[in-house]
């Protein structure tokens, strides 16, 4: 919970939230192949998020305004697709187009990273974004993550930026 947002782990009732995000061409433009997902893939995406919570104790949160309006998602995953980022975990964010440019991604990410470290779920987090996605890079910068290096997306071959923070760095910021 922040002054403007509530965060809750994604659950089976959230198919429509995942579908609104993952079928939107603009929101998916810089994610993996850049191709929006079909509805059957969204079911798989939702199941993956629920499984992450079950297996790892962390995963995606749904981000809502305090009146319950869905704003997007924020949370954690295991970036097995990116060897340079492993063992991770990584933190990521999406805000529905209508709610962008209000500071919600940064606010939700700061709350969730604080929660992750306070809960003792790990001592390091990475952030990864397509180099051609400066809006996500700006969130990394606003959060105070440390830029690590550029790499190449192993499947898609476009350049990506890797950022990092550790529990002591986060506490000291």
Ligand X SMILES: CC(C)(COP(=O)(O)OP(=O)(O)OC[C@H]1O[C@@H](n2cnc3c(N)ncnc32)[C@H](O)[C@@H]1OP(=O)(O)O)[C@@H](O)C(=O)NCCC(=O)NCCS
Which residues of the chain form contacts with ligand X (CB under 6 A)? Answer: 27, 30-31, 92-95, 100-106, 129, 133, 135-136, 138-139, 142
Q: In terms of CB distance, is 12 or 109 closer to ligand X? A: 109
Q: In terms of CB distance, is 128 or 170 closer to ligand X? A: 128
| Cβ 96 to ligand X shortest distance, Å | 7
Contact 151, 90 (CB under 8 A): no
| Cβ 123 to ligand X shortest distance, Å | 22
Residue from 70, 119, 68, 118 nearest 94 by CA: 70
| Cβ 145 to ligand X shortest distance, Å | 12
The residue sitting closest to ligand X, measured at its beta carbon, is: 103
| Number of H-type helices and E-type strands within the chain | 6, 7
DSSP at 63: E
| Residue 99 token pair | 């709610």
Contact 116, 166 (CB under 8 A): no
| Cβ 160 to ligand X shortest distance, Å | 9
Q: How many alpha carbons fall within 13 Å on the CB side of residue 113?
A: 29
Q: In terms of CB distance, is 75 or 117 closer to ligand X? A: 75
Q: In terms of CB distance, is 77 or 117 closer to ligand X? A: 77
């Amino acid at each position: 919970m922040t002054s403007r947002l509530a965060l809750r782990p994604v659950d089976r009732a959230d198919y429509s939230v995942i579908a609104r995000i993952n079928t939107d061409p603009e929101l998916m433009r810089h994610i993996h192949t850049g191709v929006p997902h079909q509805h059957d893939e969204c079911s798989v995406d939702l199941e993956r998020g629920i499984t992450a919570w079950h297996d790892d104790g962390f995963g995606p949160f749904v981000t809502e305004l305090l009146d319950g309006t869905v704003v997007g998602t924020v949370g954690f995953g295991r970036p097995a697709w990116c060897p340079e980022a492993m063992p991770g975990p990584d933190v990521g964010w999406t805000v529905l187009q209508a709610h962008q440019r209000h500071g919600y991604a940064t606010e939700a990410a700061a709350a969730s990273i604080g929660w992750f470290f306070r809960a003792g779920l790990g001592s390091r987090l990475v952030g990864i974004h397509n180099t051609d996605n400066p809006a996500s890079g700006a969130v990394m910068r606003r959060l105070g993550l440390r830029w690590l290096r550029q790499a190449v997306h192993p499947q898609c071959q476009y350049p990506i930026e890797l950022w990092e923070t550790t529990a002591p760095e986060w506490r000291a910021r």
